[in-house]
Chain A
Amino acid sequence: MPVRLHPESLENITTHYCPGCSHGIAHRVIAEVIDELGIEGSTIGISPVGCSYNNYKYFTFDMLQAAHGRAPAVATGVKRVHPESIVFTYQGDGDLAAIGTAEIIHAAARGEKITTIFINNAIYGMTSGQMAPTTLEGQVTTTSPLGRDPKVQGFPLKMSEILSQIDGAVYIERVSMHDVNHILKAKKAIKKAFKVQLAGLGFSMIEVLSTCPTNWRMKPVDAAAWVKDTMMEYYKLGVYKGEDLEV
């Protein structure tokens, strides 16, 4: 008997993600939540551009692959056609916090009843490790080879804090996936975000601090430690909107 069954909403195939990358964990957590809520048949997901561009292959429900940054606009179209469906976007930091800032902010402002899973690993993974809008001060990337210097490259964006200022956003939380304890907390948050949508309350986003060992040039264990010791210093975990929300 397996200790934990493979989630129904996740295809039983090997992913293309690197060892130690958080994408696989995030996928599994989302699939578990969808199973537990019994919404697999009514869920429609939006895949982004970036490492998870083809994650429609890994989930068992309907999905649309969107252009870079446009997932919230695509999700808006889908949700307005099928208001009874559960619609979520899965987006990385380049996708959501650089090229797609207009789309995410206005989806939230309209109070679109969608859920966004925002994978923040502080780097562009797919394109070989360029500086992201969430790259930390001093962090070395292929386009900030001397480390991000705020005087030259500006400051990292705190998207959960920004979106929590928007009235249409009802539930915003930042979580991490660097250890089991935090993964369980992240799952709880993601489940709540989907429940917020099921209740028709408005826009919800869970920002997930994630690892990218390959482009951080770290071993997986060191990458997890870097999330805990460095990323979490700048990107504080917690509920930014909807603390008292009961769903």
Chain B
Amino acid sequence: MSEKVLIKGNEAIGEAAIRAGCRHYFGYPITPQNELTNYMSKYMPEAGGVFIQAESEIAAINMVYGAAGAGARAMTSSSSPGISLKQEGISYIAGAEIPAVVVNVMRCGPGLGGIMPAQSDYFQAVKGGGHGDYRNIALAPSNGQELYELTVKAFDLADKYRMLVMVMADGALGQMMENVEFRDREEPLIVEKPWAATGTGMKREKNSITSVYINPDELETVNNRLQAKYHEVEENEVMYEEINCEGADIVICAYGLAARLTRNVMKSASAEGIKVGLMRPITLWPFPKQAVGALAEKTDTVMSVELSAGQMVEDVRLAINGKVPVHFYGRTGGNIPTQDEILDKIKEVLGKEKK
């Protein structure tokens, strides 16, 4: 059944999870993602599922470890400080190769920071966060519909690769009400999980879900297998949106809310005769390295716009590899860059380039 509703982003994520077949959700209150936890407390039981308000974010991620390790589609959600607490569990989930979905409705930091929107958990999501050599798939929606679609996709990717998938929203996307079309899929992806701890039923060999290997060679073999899997994800799952980059005066790299602002800037810049392109990574990891690198053939100037002090810009620079200048504009503290600020920065950068 398909239906279009006016709904808060946080609630759209919850509905997406339920429609993706998630029946186990473990949460803990933190602003600005509370509507998601509230939604799950009401609608998960209605869907015949389990909602638990855990004693901490740490417990919640470990409940996910248990539920997903036992074969269920399981999810937890939080916001930045809570996601920091979950990092231990996230590393264990990576090590034990458990499919799980974690939603981060980002707020500003560091520390307790504030409750306003931010994109300053990029490093944490794509560069590790927890200990050890591991990767999470990180998806970056930029509107209500994408919150829905990418949350559904997160469960499929998690099951497909036995990986943790993070949905990287921000406080503004989570709080905003938008029209979202809930689409039930005709053929939901059903992945067999013969590895899960379900009880042997005396019908098969036992399953051990673990991330501990004391023997160095054994652990290196596990790591090599993980790296091979991550490489496969990099080959197959990169998603991005590219608009008007060919021959642009400047290409803005931005994701989520920042990309949305940039779309408006493109219009106002165009009115002033400046051609602005947009490169919008949808998968923050795997990062669209090739597509971003290829921008050097399409434009003379690149700029990353973020709600951070400059995080994704490092990956943009790595991909561009010095071929064209890569600039940065960002705001922190929960401030959102205005379209005028971005346009002014574009003019400043292009003026400098001309000199």
Contacts and interface: CB of A to CB of B under 8 A. Distances in A.
A61 B200 contact: yes
Contacts of B202: 40-41
Interface in A32-85: 40-44, 46-47, 53-54, 56-57, 59-67, 70, 73-82, 85
Nearest to B208: A56
B274 interface: no
Contacts of A161: none
B194 to A, nearest CB: 12
Contacts of A198: none
Nearest to A62: B197
A106 interface: yes
A85 B181 CA distance: 38
B203 A78 contact: no
Given A62-B200, A77-B65, A106-B54, 12 more contacts: A41-B199, A44-B70, A44-B198, A53-B212, A56-B206, A63-B209, A73-B59, A73-B66, A81-B50, A81-B71, A82-B199, A106-B55
Interface in B97-116: none
Nearest to B210: A65
Contacts of B71: 81
Interface of B: 24, 26, 50, 52, 54-56, 58-60, 62-72, 74, 88-89, 92, 96, 197-203, 206-212, 214
B201 A42 contact: yes
A105 B59 CA distance: 12
Contact of A43 (B50, B67, B74, B199): B199
A64 B197 contact: yes
A62 B212 contact: no
Nearest to B89: A67
Nearest to B50: A80
Nearest to A74: B66
B64 A77 contact: yes
Contacts of A182: none
Contact of B52 (A42, A64, A80, A105): A80
Contacts of B56: 102
Given A61-B206, A80-B24, A44 B55 contact: no
A54 B69 CA distance: 17
B55 A102 contact: yes
B55 A78 contact: no
Interface residues of A, number: 37
Contacts of A61: 199-200, 206
Contact of A70 (B89, B201, B209): B89
Contacts of A79: 66
**Most chain B beta-carbon neighbours within 10 Å: one of A40, A62, A67, A105:** A62
Given A57-B208, A80-B50, A81-B72, A63 B197 contact: yes
B199 A62 contact: yes
Interface in A90-136: 102-103, 105-106, 110
Contacts of A46: 66
Contacts of B197: 44, 62-64, 78
A76 B63 contact: yes
A78 B67 contact: yes
Nearest to B201: A41
Nearest to B55: A106
A36 to B, nearest CB: 16
A181 B30 CA distance: 51
Given A57-B208, A65-B211, A67-B88, A41 B200 contact: yes
Given A43-B199, A56-B210, A62-B197, A76 B66 contact: yes
**Most chain B beta-carbon neighbours within 10 Å: one of A44, A54, A102:** A44
Contacts of B200: 40-41, 60-62
Contacts of A66: 62, 65-66, 92
Given A65-B208, A66-B65, A77-B66, A85 B26 contact: no
A62 B55 contact: no
B66 A65 contact: no
Contacts of A65: 96, 208-212
Given A80-B24, A102-B56, A64 B65 contact: yes
9 contacts: A41-B202, A62-B198, A62-B208, A73-B60, A74-B66, A77-B70, A79-B66, A80-B52, A85-B198
A77 B63 contact: yes
Contacts of B211: 65
Interface in A137-195: none
A213 B58 CA distance: 33
A200 B71 CA distance: 22
Contacts of B26: 77
B216 to A, nearest CB: 16
A105 B58 CA distance: 14
